[in-house]
Structure 1
Amino acid sequence: MSSPAPRPTLSRVREDRVVAGVLGGVARRFGWNPTVVRAIFVVVSVVSAAFPGLLVYLLLWMLMPEGEE
């Protein structure tokens, strides 16, 4: 019986980044499509006055380590 593959850690990506690799890293960690994650983030940030999208992105940029690959 083989053990399941380990999940990637939460870190910014180098290869699939648009600005800082934050949303690409979140998408990689959970196995989601990075384009869909980016689109959802933009829509939620624009539509919702209660969600400070830019602030959340900047905080994640500062707190998430940069990935190895």
Structure 2
Amino acid sequence: MDTTKPNQCPHCQQGLECKVDEIASCECQKVHLSYEETQIIRKITLERYQGQCLCNNCIEKLKRNILTL
């Protein structure tokens, strides 16, 4: 069974491959986030992008922005 979901980052339109059914194998797992960062980014994606996955570059940018809050 194919558990990948081809997609585009809703922020930058860069291509990404979401593996929602195999989250441990998903590219986003390479971005190290604290629990707080995860919750903040989750809230942002729900509010701005209807919960769609972001690419690693955009996740990293959000993480840097969170650190400056």
Q: One fold, TM greater than 0.5?
A: no
Structure with the larger RCO, 1 or 2 (CA within 8 Å, 6+ apart):
1
> Larger % of strand: which?
2
Which TM-score bucket, shorter chain as reference? Answer: 0.3 to 0.5
TM-score by length of structure 1 reads 0.33
TM-score by length of structure 2 reads 0.33
| Structure with larger Rg | 1
